Amino acid sequence: MNNLKFRFVAVPSMVAGMILFGGGEAWAMHIMEGFLPPSWSLFWTAVSLPFFVLGFRSMRKIVADNPRMKLLLAMVGAFAFVLSSLKIPSVTGSCSHPTGVGLGAIMFGPSVMSVLGAIVLLFQALLLAHGGLTTLGANLFSMGIAGPFVSYGIYKLADGMKAPRSMAVFLGAALGDLVTYVVTSLQLAAAFPSTTGGFAAAMFKFLGIFAVTQVPLAVSEGILTVMVYNTIRSYAGETMFSSATLSGEVK
């Protein structure tokens, strides 16, 4: 058990250290500060706000029902922070990286990740110069709302079809990651349509460039999420783990 505790704490800590202190160039997370026109920044903020309010209420209920859930909430938030800080430059003004939001969506439901995603994005914008305040709403919608809802939906669908639990988690995490970048491509195409082909041409251009890095990243994130999911389940205990969600997603 002590060895398990060491791995559970030390490995993420070492990864976080390499992210924070390794490498010299800071690339923006998703859409960088000031890249979107003000009208689109306000639009995505307005769209994201109701989900954030819903997520805050859900999180408050989870903690009120079982205060020990604070630890698991912190773990899935840290997981998202670490993975979404692994940056690979992609389309101008953006980048590719894992999202890490599938784990929290599967364990606590998708709305909770809108709050944790906002915290992650805010910390990265203020402390690491990844993303930005003006693009917080757009980045939150893609990573903290669209991705988690798809992850949760795919997981529930696969679980309902009696797929192995690890396969359901893998599919949820991997496809949620991919959808995040589909939405990011949509956001960029809407703000900067092609002069020749309009929105559709810009959308396919962004999707094509993102796919080069994002498909293998999504597969890797799915595998890592399964490993972390199983580790948390083993470490936290079945009783505590099975009460992690509001609607009993985790059995």
Is the pTM above the cut of 0.85? Answer: no
* 156: in domain: yes
* 248: in domain: no
Q: The domain containing residue 141 runs over which residues?
A: 29-242
CB burial of residue 56 (10 Å; 0-12, 13-18, 19+) = middle
Q: What is the pLDDT of residues 147-192, one digit of tens each?
A: 999 999 999 999 899 999 999 999 999 999 999 989 998 999 999 9
CB burial of residue 219 (10 Å; 0-12, 13-18, 19+) = middle
* 56: in domain: yes
* 113: in domain: yes
* 112: in domain: yes
Q: Which long-range contacts (CB under 8 A, 24 or more apart) does 63-67 make?
A: 65/243, 66/240, 66/243
- Is pLDDT above 90 for 144? yes
Counts of helices then strands in the chain (DSSP H, E): 10, 2
Q: What is the pLDDT of residues 10-63, one digit of tens each?
A: 444 444 444 443 333 333 347 888 889 999 999 999 999 999 999 999 999 999
Q: What is the pLDDT of residues 78-135, one digit of tens each?
A: 999 988 887 766 554 556 788 999 999 999 999 999 999 999 999 988 888 777 899 9
Total domain count, the chain = 1
* 13: in domain: no
* 232: in domain: yes
**What is the C-alpha to C-alpha distance for residues 144 and 121, in angstroms, rounded to an integer?**
9
Q: Which CATH number do you get for residue 59? A: 1.10.1760.20
* 77: in domain: yes
